């Protein structure tokens, strides 16, 4: 039987876009494109140390995670009003929808905002309004993960959790995460606040093994009881850890273009994502900070597929992994997995 899909979707980019997928590792503040950053700065009367959008984009060249974080926190400083956060969210969800994303679980960094006097009652209503509007318009399923900044103290993380709780926002998030500068900030210090989040019924994830050693991945699993590892590139250095990740089916939310931009790998062709996938790990592809690292999730799939010569079966596997690794309901997961199965069958018969 000639299927409409097989004749329609011939090239890899179109195939990738047509694959229902989940994005599980994306910092909403990292989706702030220079154009929107300038527009928001202007309406808030903020002057920027860059002449124009091109000059800002030209500054996006990083030696490591910290050199990126310095610019990323500076960029987030233009976000001051509820509308700023709503516009940021709306722009990202539009792009994600265009890439075939059915489900997004987005990180946000409250401390980046509360530290400069912008509170939960400003950013949460902005995020939630844009999430509702996007869901109504496109059907995209969305969720928020509150990240603690690990370069700040555990006390600051507690204070942030308390602010979320007192503001009545725990029902608006599905989990907590841990991000920012990794080396020198091991996960164990945040065990208590992660325990509290678990008690409150929240999911737990953490960045680990991006720049930090395998021991930080062990720490995230054992001390924070995380359900996914964000990045996990350096897991490969420790065979026992690989065995643990396999046995417990711990998803890795990998971000190939981020790793290239932050010099975690020198060349996309050297990325271990393909090897880890071959070994049976629950690997997923994500964009991390798409405005800064040269691509949204679809581009991450495309460039990784090209560099690592991934087959269509492997692309389908990556999309399936992303759905399975998500915290969506079983009903939603079954629906998207059925859509993938249908597409896969059409591709095979075509
Ligand atoms: N790593 C750690 N913290 C972050 C990142 C990242 O890639 N992006 C935004 N915050
Ligand atoms: Zn990240």
300-318, pLDDT tens digit by residue? 999 999 999 999 999 999 9
- The pLDDT of residue 6 is 39
Atom of ligand 1 minimally distant from the CA of 258? 7
The per-residue DSSP string of 281-328 comes to --EEE--BSHHHHT--HHHHHHHHHHHHT--HHHHHHHHHHHHHTS--
For residues 350 and 3, the answer to whether their CB atoms sit within 8 Å is yes
- The pLDDT of residue 39 is 98
CA gap 124, 35 in Å, rounded = 23
CA torsion angle for 129, 169, 231, 214 (degrees, to 10)? 170
Which pair of structure tokens corresponds to residue 159? 């204070």
Which pair of structure tokens corresponds to residue 11? 């090239």
Tens-digit pLDDT profile for residues 171-192 = 999 999 999 999 999 999 999 9
Residue ranges of domains in the chain, CATH in brackets: 10-349 (3.20.20.140)
The interaxial angle of helices 82-98 and 120-138, nearest 10 deg, is 30
CA gap 190, 179 in Å, rounded = 11
For residues 65 and 211, the answer to whether their CB atoms sit within 8 Å is yes
- The pLDDT of residue 3 is 44
Arithmetic mean of pLDDT over the chain: 96
Nearest residue to 193 via CA among 159, 221, 227: 159
Question: Which ligand ends up closest to the CA of 64?
Answer: 1
| CB neighbour class for 304 (10 Å; exposed up to 12, middle 13-18, buried from 19) | buried
- The pLDDT of residue 2 is 41
Report the run of H or E that residue 103 belongs to, with start and end. strand 101-108
> Residues in the chain with pLDDT < 50?
1-10
For ligand 1, the distance from its centroid to the CA atom of residue 220, given in whole angstroms, is 16
Instruction: Note the pTM of the prediction, 2 decimals.
Output: 0.96
CA gap 315, 318 in Å, rounded = 5
Pocket of ligand 1 (CB under 6 A): 27, 30, 65, 72, 179-180, 207, 210, 258, 288-289
- The pLDDT of residue 350 is 64
For ligand 2, the distance from its centroid to the CA atom of residue 280, given in whole angstroms, is 23
- Hey, which of 289, 293, 300 would you mutate to test ligand 1's pocket, going by the most ligand atoms within 8 Å of its Cβ? 289
Complete edge-to-edge strand list for the sheet that includes strand 203-208? 21-23, 101-108, 141-149, 175-179, 203-208, 228-231, 252-254, 283-285
Cα of first residue to Cα of last residue in the chain, in angstroms, is 8
- Hey, which of 31, 68, 108 would you mutate to test ligand 1's pocket, going by the most ligand atoms within 8 Å of its Cβ? 68
For residues 157 and 193, the answer to whether their CB atoms sit within 8 Å is yes
Tens-digit pLDDT profile for residues 36-88 = 999 999 999 999 999 999 999 999 999 999 999 999 999 999 999 999 999 99
């Amino acid at each position: 039987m000639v299927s409409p899909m097989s004749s329609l979707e011939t090239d890899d980019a179109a195939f990738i876009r047509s694959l229902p997928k989940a994005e599980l590792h994306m910092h909403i503040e990292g989706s702030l494109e220079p154009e929107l950053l300038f527009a928001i700065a202007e309406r808030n009367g903020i002057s920027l140390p860059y002449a124009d959008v091109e000059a800002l984009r030209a500054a996006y060249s990083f030696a490591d995670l910290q050199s990126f974080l310095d610019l990323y926190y500076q960029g987030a400083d233009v976000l001051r009003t509820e509308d700023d956060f709503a516009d940021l969210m709306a722009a990202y969800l539009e792009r994600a929808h265009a890439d075939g994303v059915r489900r997004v679980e987005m990180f946000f960094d409250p401390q980046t905002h509360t530290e400069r006097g912008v509170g939960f009652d400003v950013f949460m209503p902005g995020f939630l309004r844009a999430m509702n509007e996007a869901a109504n318009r496109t059907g995209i399923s969305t969720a928020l993960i509150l990240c603690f900044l690990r370069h700040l103290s555990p006390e600051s993380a507690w204070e942030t959790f308390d602010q979320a709780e007192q503001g009545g926002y725990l029902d608006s998030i599905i989990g907590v995460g841990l991000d920012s500068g990794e080396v020198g900030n091991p996960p164990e210090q945040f065990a208590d606040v992660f325990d509290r989040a678990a008690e409150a019924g929240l999911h737990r994830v953490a960045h680990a093994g991006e720049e930090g050693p395998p021991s930080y991945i062990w720490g995230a699993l054992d001390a924070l009881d995380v359900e996914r590892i964000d990045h996990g590139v350096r897991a490969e250095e420790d065979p026992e850890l690989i065995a643990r990740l396999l046995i417990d089916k711990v998803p890795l939310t990998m971000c190939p273009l981020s790793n290239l931009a932050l010099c975690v790998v020198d060349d996309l062709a050297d990325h271990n994502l393909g090897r880890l996938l071959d070994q049976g790990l629950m690997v997923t592809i994500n964009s991390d900070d798409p405005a800064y690292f040269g691509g949204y999730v679809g581009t991450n799939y495309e460039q990784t597929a090209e560099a690592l010569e991934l087959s269509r079966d492997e692309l389908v596997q990556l999309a399936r992994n992303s759905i399975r690794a998500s915290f969506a309901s079983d009903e939603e997961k079954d629906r998207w997995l059925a859509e993938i199965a249908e597409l896969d069958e059409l591709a095979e018969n075509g």
